[in-house]
């Protein structure tokens, strides 16, 4: 029993040494890795970053050392894949150190630390905000096909610069689709607003009936009064009429006397006996002229006052007529 127990630590030591030995790259691995690194350098100089990344990744998978990993980090950053570039930089910093560590490894770690800090500032973020769901409804949200955990939905999500396609779905509801353009170092709020449940018609809005107009009894509808010409109008017209009457009468009398006198006169010479009649004719002529002038002026003033006096429009009135065992409708229009 004691011999079996003492054999277990020895077995563990052998397995540990075997595992350590198998983790070390062989000479062939190291030679292949050198060739891959050279190929990656040539493609990077030719601006073929995708091809360079494949070569650098293959070399790093063989070696797992800072000097190969740093080339992967730098190539990812050039390609705009900032999230993965920072993740690889942090993984490089976690690689175990060797003592003494080669100078290329030390330089690679320093560059990785610098890149990790700068990439943290450059990486943009998405802020997803889901609305329109009832309590207890949990949406399924995918960004570029990658599922976002429900607990992570309220948190800012790091993403590479460029266009990102977002799909949000919930049972019984239409999917919500959004395309968002992200710029380096910026945060983009995205509202994912769900519509109503499919097939459920919302209740119609209540119809409010208009208030009825108050009824006006036919018998009580008064007929609005219209205005009539004022006293000044009638006074002017009266003066004008009186003046015309006086002027007309005086004119007739003047003509009569003038005709009688004219037969007795020769030219401007009239007998002494007719001079009184001639004076009366002249007086009547003056009275006639004054009367006609006053009549015309009074009539003109009265007419002007009549037409400029304000008048209220006459509204139609309706009433109910009763009598003699019958009922009728009457009014003015």
Lowest mean pLDDT among 124-128, 139-143, 252-256: 252-256
- CA 140 vs CA 53, 127, 178, 180, 227: distances in Å: 33, 15, 14, 18, 81
Per-residue model confidence as pLDDT tens digits over 174-183: 999 999 999 9
According to the model, what pLDDT value does residue 245 have? 74
Position 49 pLDDT exceeds 70: yes
According to the model, what pLDDT value does residue 312 have? 52
Confidence of residue 3 (pLDDT cuts 50, 70, 90): very low
Q: Which residues contact 165 (CB under 8 A, 6 or more apart)?
A: 143, 144, 145, 177, 178, 179
Position 202 pLDDT exceeds 90: no
Provide the pairing of β-strand 317-323 with 326-332. Answer: antiparallel
172: left (phi over 0), alpha (psi -120 to 50) or beta: left
Confidence of residue 84 (pLDDT cuts 50, 70, 90): very high
Q: pTM for this one? A: 0.52
Residues 40-54: what's their mean pLDDT?
Answer: 97
Residues 298-313: what's their mean pLDDT?
Answer: 66
Q: Compute the C-alpha angle 89/58/36, nearest 5°.
A: 110
Q: How many CB atoms lie within 10 A of CB 119?
A: 22
C-alpha 276/C-alpha 259 separation (Å) is 14
Nearest alpha carbon to residue 64 among 33, 107, 99? 33
Residue 54 in tokens: 């494949």
Per-residue model confidence as pLDDT tens digits over 293-304: 776 776 776 677
Position 265 pLDDT exceeds 90: no
C-alpha 112/C-alpha 91 separation (Å) is 9
According to the model, what pLDDT value does residue 9 have? 41
Confidence of residue 6 (pLDDT cuts 50, 70, 90): very low
């Amino acid at each position: 029993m004691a011999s079996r127990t003492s054999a277990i630590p020895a077995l563990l030591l052998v397995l540990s040494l075997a595992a350590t030995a198998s983790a070390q790259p062989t000479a062939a691995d190291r030679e292949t890795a050198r060739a891959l690194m050279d190929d990656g350098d040539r493609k990077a100089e030719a601006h073929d970053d995708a091809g360079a990344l494949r070569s650098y990744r293959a070399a790093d998978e063989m070696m797992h050392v800072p000097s190969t990993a740093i080339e992967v980090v730098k190539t990812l950053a050039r390609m705009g894949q900032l999230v993965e570039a920072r993740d690889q930089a942090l993984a490089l910093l976690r690689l175990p150190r060797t003592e003494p560590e080669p100078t290329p490894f030390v330089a690679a770690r320093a560059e990785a630390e610098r890149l990790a800090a700068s990439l943290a500032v450059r990486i943009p973020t998405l802020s997803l905000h889901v609305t329109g769901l009832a309590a207890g409804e949990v949406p399924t949200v995918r960004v570029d096909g990658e599922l976002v955990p429900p607990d992570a939905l309220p948190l800012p999500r790091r993403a590479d610069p460029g266009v990102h396609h977002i799909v949000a779905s919930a049972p019984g509801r239409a999917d919500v689709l959004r395309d968002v353009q992200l710029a380096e170092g910026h945060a983009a709020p995205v509202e994912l607003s769900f519509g109503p449940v499919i097939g459920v018609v919302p209740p119609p809005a209540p119809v409010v009936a208009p208030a009825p107009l108050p009824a006006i009894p036919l018998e009580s509808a008064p007929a609005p009064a219209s205005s009539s010409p004022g006293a000044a109008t009638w006074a002017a017209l009266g003066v004008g009429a009186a003046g015309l009457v006086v002027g007309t009468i005086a004119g007739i009398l003047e003509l009569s006397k003038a005709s009688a006198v004219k037969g007795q006169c020769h030219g401007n010479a009239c007998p002494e006996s007719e001079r009184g009649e001639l004076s009366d004719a002249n007086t009547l002529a003056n009275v006639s002229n004054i009367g006609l002038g006053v009549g015309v002026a009074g009539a003109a003033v009265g007419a002007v006052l009549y037409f400029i006096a304000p008048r209220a429009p006459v509204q139609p009135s309706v009433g109910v007529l009763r009598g003699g065992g019958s009922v009728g409708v009457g009014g003015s229009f």
